[in-house]
Amino acid sequence: MDEKTVQPIEADAVQPGAASAPATETSDPAAEAAPAPISSRCFVDRELSWLQFNRRVLMQAADRSVPLLERLNFFSIYQNNLDEFFMVRVGALIHRGILLPDYTDPKTGWPTNVQLKMISREVTHQQTTLDPVYRLLLQDLKAENIELLDFRRISKVDESVARKVFAEMRQLISPRIVDAAHPMPFLDNRECYTAALLRKNDKYTLGLVDITRLPPYRVFEINGGQKVILTEELVRHFAPQLFKKYLVKDTCTIRATRNADVFIDENTRITDLDFRESMEKLIRKRKRQQIVRLQICGKPDSHLMELLVKYLRIPEKQIYISPYPFRMDFGKVLNAAPSLRYPEHHPARNVKLRKGDYFRYIDQNDLLLSFPYQSMMPFIEMLYEAADDPEVVSIRITLYRLAVNSKVAAALAYAADQGKEVLCLLELRARFDEKNNIDYSEMLEDAGCSIIYGLPMQKVHCKLCLITRKTETGVKYITQIGTGNYNEATAEQYCDLALITGDQQIGADAAAVFESLSLGQIPPQTDSLITAPRGFRSLILDLLDAELAKGSDGYVAIKVNSMNDMEIMKALIACSRAGVTVELFIRGICCLRPGLKDFTENIRVKSVVSRYLEHSRIYVFGRGDTQRIILGSGDLLNRNTRRRVEAFVEIKAPEIKAQVTEIMDAFRDDDVKGWSMLSDGSYRKAEAAKGTDSQERLTEYFSARTVEPLPVPVVKTKKRSWLYRLFHG
């Protein structure tokens, strides 16, 4: 369907929490024979959909079935997510509004200024949810004898302790005034400052206190309980001691969020001898980008607000007043009962293979690892086996995000030291991990690894590792294709899959992919390894067409993090209209609204937000013997299908198919942590939950599975005569 058939709608008709309200359309008798054109009411704005996801994160903080300090952590995650949303998405929209003032969104028909307006409306609306969640947290913390010190109602004992803490910090605090002779200092991104309205001789002046180098909070124990002093509140309380020659009329805490939507100039990249140096320049540039949001904690006096707007030169529509603190991550330092946190979880080490077992096993069997239910160590042990195996010629791997103390990087460095050819494609443009990747590129290079940085116009986002052996019978490959990063830290927090296979065609295709990347070329579509941007999108559309042809016998199930690819969404609508059952398990952004009569009534959308971050990408088409299951690194966002290098593989082994099917079944049945998307774009949890938690179910399932090493083959020796044995022992 041509995108021109999508009609714009009025932004003012949109309610908070829903991208668009269903409109009543008049029927045209002349068009009854043909399907109605796809309307914009089938789609949800990308940014509003993401804000709905973040609201589901927030609701974990209100869920009393979640341990208290984990709820506090979800509150903090909500705040951090919103920070990154403003830095990346709002920053990009502001740029687009300046560069392309006539641009309209192809899904909703909204111009950029309307998108920004709707974002502001939804963020403000979510404050009405945030405030009671915050108060509930304080109430439940107090019941556990944990209190956030409230300086508005402070006892003499607490005042004495606070005064002592302030005295310890005083030497690190440098107050300053802002006026014609003292310009406004630069505000670091996402750092807190105390702003004060000062009065002297009937003249108002702005005072500013930099608290960025102070610890964000201090916890002290008193009378068997714990009290948390937030530094931002402490400095506000003692501001009169910092501005002794002024009358402090009002104070607040301010925090600037800066645009992180900066890109390296491709012409610079092509001519620059050192891409790492270019990326370091980009990181420095990002730190000084424009402010896209100013948060104010408190109820600032009108004079104080005027001064902040004047000196920061920020429109009032980009200012957000917050009644709660900006830092709520103090739960990690509290001395609390184990019941206030999740039970400790250790990924199962039920892959019984040891160094020396992996190659023999994988030559005959595919191996699926499911994180965080199973440990990532088998993959790392396999890298060490490759490093020490004399038949191994090379290890090639794509690296997007690595742990701070990466065991994967250590194994690769060891392999290079053992004389193996180790090629690492390090994507330096992994947002907010650029500096970490720059450091690792230097370390791995020093260790003897060959380093390449990817392609000029596409991020290399695939999770692909290829081990090449030269054996007596010829070249043999072992390939790992994953849905998540080679990061041991996130492998214990994110739900991901890694397939390790000895399929030689997949290995040959992976070799072709690495060859293309080494030559600076976009990988071609190959026979067994599915890649984006050349082949993945077209394959998905072909598979959807095949299910559409089956009508009501067709079946599609997709588990991804996000979806906004217009052509794929239109294909899903066509499937629904043909009677195909479509199940979408989408954690975050979903720009397709289910349950709309004549359009998406056969589509169901579910989002699971729980202890672990759902991150795996699984695509299922059909049922029974002809069912096809694909997993890989990419979502159904435009960036994944069109602008990134991704890698996918079709699951062939029946036992691996059964494991992936169990994951999809668990999501379908989840009525504890699952949220169903309604036709207005909002989400609702099941009212009569039966108690099926997908992550708990999968923990039990994958913990119970074991992989045993293959029996060691018995080598028959020729029996020698007694005379031979006499002389040869």
3-class state of residue 438 by DSSP: helix
Helix (H, G, I), strand (E, B) or coil at 601: coil
The residues, ordered by sequence, that sit 6+ positions from 185 with a Cβ below 8 Å of its Cβ are: 176, 178, 208, 210
Burial environment of residue 723 by CB neighbours within 10 A (0 to 12, 13 to 18, 19 or more): exposed
Cα–Cα distance measured from residue 588 to residue 565, given in angstroms and rounded to the nearest whole number: 14
* Residue among 18, 11, 50, 40 nearest 637 (CA): 50
Phi-psi domain of 190 (left: phi exceeds 0; alpha: psi -120 through 50; beta: other): left
Residue type, position 45, single letter? D
Cβ atoms within 10 A of the Cβ of 15, count?
14
Q: Distance between CA atoms of 173 and 566, rounded to whole angstroms? A: 53
Which tokens sit at 319? Answer: 């200012």
Tokens of 724: 């031979």
Number of other CB atoms surrounding residue 596 within 10 Å: 18
Q: Residue 314's closest CA among 407, 184, 467, 500?
A: 184
Structure-token match 């942590």, residue found: 673
- Residue 594: phi and psi, rounded to 5, are -85, 170
Closest CA to 532 of 648, 407, 370, 434: 648
Over the Cα atoms of the chain, what is R_g? 29
- Residue 353: name the closest of 373, 375, 372, 335 by CA: 375
Q: How many CB atoms lie within 10 A of CB 159?
A: 13
Q: Which residues are catalytic?
A: 461
| Cα–Cα distance measured from residue 269 to residue 266, given in angstroms and rounded to the nearest whole number | 5
